[in-house]
Amino acid sequence: MSTDALSLDELCDRALAGDGRAEADLFSALRVRFLQLAKRRVQTDHTEDVVQDALKIVCHRYRERKQGVGILVWSLTVLRNVIGNYYQARQRERQHMDFVSELPRDAAGKDDPLEEVMAGEGDLAIREAIAELARRFPRCGRIFFHLLASLQRGGSTQDVSTRTLQAVQQEIPTLTRNGFYTALHRCRAHLRAIWDQRQGVPSHV
């Protein structure tokens, strides 16, 4: 079967099973998306280096990623860290040129790109953001609650999705599947606003 019609996660599953063609296609697809993002975030002559660095980490680590996290979402966290390290390195370079002796925080040496995200502080920040979302938009809180509870129970994506929708529909009987996705999209937008604020991104109500 051709790999053209497969999603990235399906390609990843095949790659993990030893399919070299699927692995090549997976990294080719990731590279295109990485370039799309990196070219708007780093200097043009550094874009390729940043993308290659990120792909190298993904290539070495993708077999170890936690179950349930989609390959693209996980890979983008790697790219974020590489781009973050790129800016930190540039900042260090500037500080060095200015003869500032202050020792900068070194996050570039971390082996695991998810280490920072999964650290206690990161967990707490996400938990607080979700709690704030639930206080401000109780319905979003309920949807998130059912979603997370369903994810925790495990199973296929179909199982998780069906259980979540059923639980939400018990509270909102007239909600359709499409309506559920729209609601989830809105919840996510609210969470993003809260998250941006907590990360110090200027207000954009």
Partner 1 sequence: MSERNTTDLRTCDLLAAYEMGLLDDADRRRFEDHLDGCDDCLDELYSLAPVAAALTADPGSFAAAASTRRTWTDRLLGILESLSQPRVLAPVAAAAALALLLLLPAAPRWTNLATLEPLPYTRVNVRAGDDQGSRLFTAGMARYTRGEYGPAAEILLKAADDLEDADGDGLAMPATSPDQARLYAGVSLLLDGRTLAAKAPLQAAAGDPLPPISENARWYLAQACLLTDRPDSAGLLLKALADSPVYGPRAKHLLEEMTP
Query: How far apart are CB 99 and partner 1 at their closest, in Å?
Result: 28
CA distance 140 to 22: 37
Encoded amino acid at 131, one letter:
A
Q: Please identify, among the stretches 17-25, 69-77, 86-94, 97-105, the one whose residues bind partner 1 according to the rule CB under 8 A.
A: 69-77
Q: Whose Cβ is closer to partner 1: residue 96's or residue 135's? A: 135
Report how far residue 179's alpha carbon sits from residue 20's, in angstroms, rounded to the nearest whole number: 40
Q: 115 to 174, contacts with partner 1 by CB under 8 A?
A: 117-118, 122-123, 126-139, 141-142, 144-145, 147-149, 151-152, 157-158, 160-161, 164, 171-172, 174
Closest CA to 203 of 189, 188, 193: 193
Among 18, 45, 63, 66, indicate the residue that binds partner 1 (CB under 8 A): 66
Find the part of the chain contacting partner 1 (CB under 8 A) among 5-13, 18-26, 50-58, 99-107.
Answer: 5-13
SS3 65: coil
In terms of DSSP H, where are the helices of 40-137?
A: 44-61, 71-97, 115-118, 120-136
| # residues near partner 1 by CB under 8 A | 86
| Cα–Cα dist 35/83, whole Å | 12
Binding to partner 1 (CB under 8 A) within 175-204 occurs at 175, 178-179, 181-198, 200-204
